[in-house]
Structure 1
């Protein structure tokens, strides 16, 4: 069993407004969350940038300080010569006091090493640890040995551009943690685990931290990072609080809107219902008027079609008169001949039979002429498969005598025989109207050597019938106006102005084709374009 829920206009309006409001609140909350998160993200970037700046400054300051200490040591007490001569005892004795002072200044200083120009360790002060060969190392580098990370500063010294050796200071990496902590009050660690990634969130109890990491050493599978924890508990609380505030505000506003909709929209809904009923009534009247107008248009088209057929029939009566003129003359001559032979008593049976046969042939020809014209005007409501070429020939034959009387030369150019499925007589009517229009123009304008060319071609599925005359072209502008009803370029007593209109209606409405005209080579050219969507037999089956 199906349950159908019918809502009133008021309920629909309330639901729509509430849904729109909820969507607006969601979008607003979402945008606010984005703004807050962007601010927090900016704070995180600034925090990380501050740490990076302290770290970079500390590196630079430490390198400069111990490089200057190395150079000062070389310049005093002839240390350079002792290193050159590899006098280890003298080096240690003279450097011991200076190293002790440096160690007191910086407890993170681990040792001070002296190397010869081959990179071999001569002696050291402080604790012993591993380091890189100076020949293969940079002037400053981090070195990881058994989870102990150290920072090394190498200072080369020369004599007459010749390398004599190096002095190296080695500091524990924790020195940088202390420096950053002194400046930013942040505590950090040095870790050797790749799982600590920059930007990771870590929750501890009710607090939330974001991880900022700086890679100090990364060779092969060994990695050392300096990490700092930024407490973002307050920022996360702000995000949660903003969400709760938005939710409470939305619920409060929804309640107010419900009250407004319930009490304030009654009048509006009532007016809407009245307007809806009024519009429904107007739509019904409008639909009725449209149907009446359509009926009038159909009736007008039927009248125009009837007028067009009457005009064509008048044209055809004139053509019948031309067709019958010569047979009637010959029939009159036969009757006169028979009367004369009878008066002279020279009419025998054989001669009578001969004249009778001639008269019968003439009467049969005249009867056939009537049948041709009657078949042309016979209304057909069913589509048939017909030959376009043969239909064009039959239509031309109806006007043959009129063309001959006015010395109009007709040139045909039919490339191939094409079959089409449609209303054959309507197609003939459309062709006849165009031909009659061309003939009347040639006669009215008294064109020398009048000529009408008609061609039939096919390009893939497109069929083109072109009818062209040399009557000087269409004088109406724009040319398309020639197809409007009661528009004619001929004299008032030569046309009604509906022939070309009905031809366009037939071709475009009943044949789903196109009929257009253009001025070309001192004449008018009418083109009919039909689409052969499938074979005529397949069209007939469909």
Structure 2
């Protein structure tokens, strides 16, 4: 009976501890898998954006090239007059050599067509293929005929503002596929009628690919897409490897715990023969110790994740001290005044309430200061609509006391209220890093009449923010190195070189904008450019 009781207690306790540990390992592994998958998804989006940029650039370059070739052809050998007179033989004879050169340069060039002012085909060189009537077509378009996709570039020409006709170049859509493949070394193809969907996975041997598609031609009846294959075998292997590593680590730790528990219970069972109560006490301590170690491990992980953010919060403690210095002095004066009035027995109720009200206002101001700094470092859960100029004012307020202490003048030029959609806290941190950099330079170099100028304007469909100081400019060359990590123009005691780097990452990666610097009028000028049109589309 005693042996059964000992075995039952040992088994139950070990099962409980191991179960808790396994659950903890599962949660940890799950969270790690989520982090890795988020990084992989980000890589997929960047991959797709890269392809889209290459495609857009190639499309623009191709259109400009063949438009210029068409215009050059019209201006030579009196081609325009032959087209006007519809002299087909002359047109073909004079343009044959040029078309041959263009064909040799680009084997994907299919034809060169000439149309009169009514949109009727006069003649062509190369292969005759289907196309739209120039009168009803755009200057560039894709055309799909019997699973053959072609790209057409129309160039109209005039004489004294009168339309004489069009020259059309026709290329195989395979040209864009080859250009992208040559530029990025990616594998791709053109498919029709929705054969593949964006994001589909496919395997070939031991490799795994994800498909990215771009629609080139789309009607109710027909569809053509350009697809590319992103090799995600490495990412998938990373996920599998992380899973197996977590599994092996868990098994190893479970084995260690089993050995520890086995040895521990061996000792505890011996002590149970002397005192069952003592054994229960030791068992409770053992469980508590395990929980304490698990809690410490989770706390260490949390501290590591927030280390960077806590570092930046530390830089702001000085600003809180500046904000509190004056109200603390005034509170001290109120307390001294009340003590003196009590000693002189001149403190009446009205005077007491007046001093009490003043003290409450100062305490409220100090409390609001703490709230401002706390809200500044509170991360946004999601993107929100905020006003640019209000965010600039709030960020300046955080540095207000420090700037006043060093007699740094701030000049603001905000022309209008501008709405923006994004993470407001990240934007404030980017601005704060630039302002702190300017402030530190002005203080370090002991500039006379130090000044920081901030301007905000809307220019076309962009937002331009300029932050300029008169601190003597940036001495690092080339000037773009100022945005590299651990590169600082300040003394090592006050500069780490990470602030401007983080500002550039926030503006260009998270806000899809641009941040650059230059020297102007004996000072440094930082310029932030944000696209307003694309931002409003994201908001919708």
TM-score tier (shorter): 0.3 to 0.5
Report the TM-score, using the length of structure 2 for normalisation: 0.48
Report the TM-score, using the length of structure 1 for normalisation: 0.48
Structure with bigger gyration radius: 1
